[in-house]
Structure 1
Amino acid sequence: MILNIFSCQGGSVKLLKFTAKNVHEYINFEIEFNKDVNFIAGLNGSGKTTALNLISAMLAPSIEELAKIKFEEATLYLTVSDTISFSITATQRNDILQLSTSALPHEQPITASLQEFRHSKDRLSANKFRAFKIFSFISGLPSPMFLSLDRRFIKEVTSYDSSPLSIIFEEKTRSTDADGSMKEALELISKKSAEFKDKQTLEDRKLRDKIILDSFHVYDRNMSSMALPNSRTPLELKAKQKTIKTTLISLDFKTEEFESMYDNFFDNLIGLSRNVFEQFAKPRPETTKSSAAAKKKGITSIPAPIRSTSVTLENSQSLGKWFANSHQMARIDRLLKLIDEYEKAKTEIYRPLVKFETLVNTFLEQTDKKIKVTNRGEVRIFISEIERSLTILSSGERQILIMLAHLSLNDLLPQSGVFIVDEPELSLHISWQDMFLEAVQAAGPDLQIILATHSPAIIGGRNEYYIPLNGGI
């Protein structure tokens, strides 16, 4: 039943509880998770990192990593979309490692020799377990995004697990320096920026097609519904002229011939609206006077269009032109509606990128720095409006940029999934530690956040989320 849910509907996974016995032969864990925020706090040596590694290894699943950590039994309780609960259990007994899940109670557990993994770096040893239904089921779960101590996001496809949602445990030979993490983040930003640009290109094409199709629109407005211009009409037309022109130029309509014809069209229409207003719609002093009899009847003024004035041939022609061009006014309004829909679509496309920039800049602005993502997907850093190299960023600033890039832009992280950070306070000023949780929640409002820390500033008085580990802090 659960397998059908994941294959057909997906689903968000949240952690409920984690227990473990005799980890490293002396530590026991019993952690009950909150649905939103969790501060797993303890002193150095309390087992915070070990607990996170066990949880991550069980969710990958990584038989290799489970073999590296000595324990008697570990069980992780999870829920799918807050409706279905199950557990994953790993045991080590008599040099045998077993992995099972209550979701598949009739399936044989994955069974492996601990010695085989402790003395071999050959990943083919792990590859043979892919045929197990338990392995396929667990690896198919939307697993957490884990920001490890080396500040690399450990969540990619591996050679032995093709699931795009699996966690990998990186070999010690792989580079884990800050430059590697920064490079990954910059590549992610560039990639997402290109994707957003492709989506905008599709919206551009849609708008161009709609503009062309609108030229075949049959005008059927009733003559009696046509309105005379008022005093605001010229200014309104100028504003519409600017909005439409800006959009059309962004759609590559920009040529000297186009701009000349476009500006002449609106200049004539604006001039015509002024002329007609002055001659036929502008109130005259005499038209605002009301007789006692008129006031009795509730009439306060004589409508300007029917006042008794001499109408010249030129004025009559202007009025005729105005009504003859009323379909152009209607078309302008339709075009503005299309542009409004187009701008809303563009805003939605770039929302994740704008959110990323805004969140990072809330930290950087304290030192008068600012980042900007260019149209080409390049991250630029400015100090007092002067562009500088990205190397100017401190380790804490880099950490914030890396983390928020993944939270805001990484498609591999389910928006309602689990986000785990080991010691988020590393390289962060104490004032930034207090801002950290709010930034993470803004980047992923539906995430279950698990922070392993020994910093009271990170907790910031949020004691309802505090989970002490082996004595706490």
Structure 2
Amino acid sequence: MQSTQSIALIQRFSVKGLHGYKDLSIDFSGHVTIIVAENGMGKTTLLNILNAFLTRRFHRLAAFSFNSIECQFSGQLLPLVLERSMLGDGYNAQDGALHELAESASISENELSDFITGIYRPDRFQSLKSHPIVRQLYYSTELDWEQVETALDDIYAGLDNSFSDSAKQVSAEVLRCVGETEIVFLPTYRRVERPQLRPRQNRTPRQAAMQGHIDSARTNPLDDIVFGLSDVEDKLIELSDEIERRSNQGYRTLSTRILDEMLKGSARQETVTTSDLPDVKSLSRFLNRVTRHEQRFGGVFEDIENLYATGAIENADNWFLRYFLSRLAGVIEQTREMEQKVEQFVSVCNSYLTLSSDEKVLAFDPQTLRVVVEDLWAKRIIGLESLSSGEKQIVSLMARLYLSSKKKIVLIDEPELSLSLDWQRKVLPDIARSGSVVQLLAITHSPFVYDNELDGCARALKITRNEVKNA
């Protein structure tokens, strides 16, 4: 796990004049910050404002009464300041066209608003028709091209007109400071049981015909979405298919290269030690994966395994086998990182499941590359939907963090929800050590979530109440 005292991207965040009289601020303690606050202190409001600020959804800030927002980023001499007066009347994303259009096309509001404010211009529609967002708006809704253009133009005008030039400058600075880091916002209400927004079987022919193109065009299917159980299954299948594709492609490429070396006479006996060879377990896993449809290969591997066991692999007459296997080791290693993502995800989920009395575990078969839920008591495979509410929450959260390498800032309100006391003690350390989280902010009123190595990261929410002057 990263040091909890490492330099945080966000060092301080403040909301001045909330509800006309209250100042709230957070001094971040490093990689992990845990704010302990009772209900009614404004913690959820502060977290919502922080999320809207970091994701540059300034139109959402219009729903809050405040004077100004200040955010100090690492490496910046002065904090960014966003005055409420810079926002005008704002743009109601919850009830407006932005929310409706994003939902109808299964695009996150953040993704759509970022596209409209950062890339889209009314005079650029024709040149942006090939953009993944525009294509998804067309192929995932009943809108024709002209209607898509009109919808984007209207939302662009609403967003653009609601902000001053000063607000747009602050937005640009936030984007520069945050960069490609994903903001993962987990509010108090976290629903992971949802199905896909538009089930595949209900898609129109137009949607079905282009869904593959849309999925492949999106840079990261985990980004900026409410990550539900169907997303977990889809991501696991996607990773498994990619591992298999890379394995087969690497095996074919290596075979062709070695055949070419043999024909040209460039393959030579060279010093290849057993340390250069893949271990038996990795070799078995890989070869069974790329030759799963060849029934006769089992005997060949048994022969190789016997050579390993007896040490005969080092005999002079096995030089070419060593040569081939040493090259194959590099191909095997290329897929290990992806396999390890899945293995780490399964391991961290099982560390929770094994604490319950239900005797359920996730199992990863490295040969078939599939993850299943096993009911050990009933001795059968069950679906993710059979997990309890707390189990679903953990599986969904850990999938989002462990199955994606994209760097993330995680904002979580009341991580203790639906979790037993043992799970509460584990969840924040497991989030922090996922490898993808560069900064974690959790707001809680449960002492158990920091009854662990993160105890030193807990602090109080700073609140200043100012006297309200009568007009």
Report the aligned-residue RMSD.
Answer: 4.4
- The 5-angstrom pairing of residues 66-465 of structure 1 reads 66-79=61-74, 83-84=75-76, 87-92=79-84, 97-98=85-86, 111-114=87-90, 117=92, 121-123=96-98, 124=155, 125-128=158-161, 132=168, 134-139=170-175, 141=179, 142-151=181-190, 181-216=228-263, 217=265, 250-252=289-291, 328-367=317-356, 368-373=359-364, 379-384=371-376, 385-410=379-404, 413-414=406-407, 417-444=408-435, 447-460=438-451, 462-465=454-457
Does structure 1 retain, via aligned residues, the 8 Å contact 2:412–2:442? yes
Aligned equivalents of 1:328 and 1:242: distance in 2? 24
Work out the percentage of aligned pairs sharing the same amino acid.
Answer: 20
Distance (whole Å) between structure 1 residues aligned to residue 461 and residue 169 of structure 2: 34
- Trace 1:10-49 onto structure 2 (pairs within 5 A): 14-49=9-44
CA-to-aligned-CA distance 1:162-199 (integer Å, 9 cap, x gap)? 9979x9999xxxxx8xxx72223333333333333333
1:27, 1:47 within 8 Å by CA — same for their partners in 2?
A: no
Cα distance change on mapping 1:243 and 1:336 into 2, 3 Å: farther
Residues 129 and 184 (structure 1 numbering): CA distance in 2 closer, same or farther, change over 3 Å? farther
Deviation for aligned residue 1:265: 9.3
Structure 1 residue 335: Cα displacement: 1.9
Larger Rg: 1
Asked if 1 retains the 8 angstrom alpha-carbon contact of 2:188 and 2:413, the reply is yes
One-letter code aligned to 1:112:
G
Name the TM-score, length of structure 2 as normaliser: 0.63
Question: 2: CA distance between counterparts of 1:357 and 1:119?
Answer: 36
* Partner AA of 2:413 in structure 1: D
Q: What TM-score do the two structures reach when normalised by structure 1?
A: 0.62
CA contact (8 A) 2:89 2:162 kept: no
Q: 1:85 to 1:209 in 2, by over 3 A?
A: farther
Contact 1:151 1:181 in 2 (8 A): no
Cα deviation, 1:299-352, whole Å, max 9, x if unaligned, reads xxxxxxxxxxxxxxxxxxxxxxxxxx9764211211221232233222123221
Encode CA deviations 1:444-470: one digit per residue, 9 max, x unaligned.
375211111110000116442112125
Secondary structure of the residue aligned to 2:331 is helix
Match of 1:68, SS state, is: coil
In structure 2, C-alpha distance between the alignment counterparts of 1:151 and 1:251, rounded to whole Å: 40
1:65 Cα deviation from its structure 2 partner: 1.2
Relative distance call for 1:378 and 1:127 in structure 2 (3 A) is: farther
Q: Whole-Å Cα distance in 2 between the matches of residues 245 and 134 of structure 1?
A: 55
Structure 1 residues 31 and 254: CA distance shift in structure 2, 3 A: closer
CA separation of 1:250 and 1:365: change in aligned 2, threshold 3 A: same
Structure 1: unaligned runs, 5 residues or longer = 1-11, 99-110, 154-161, 171-175, 226-232, 234-238, 275-324
C-alpha deviation, 1:211, in angstroms: 3.9
CA positional deviation for 1:353? 1.3
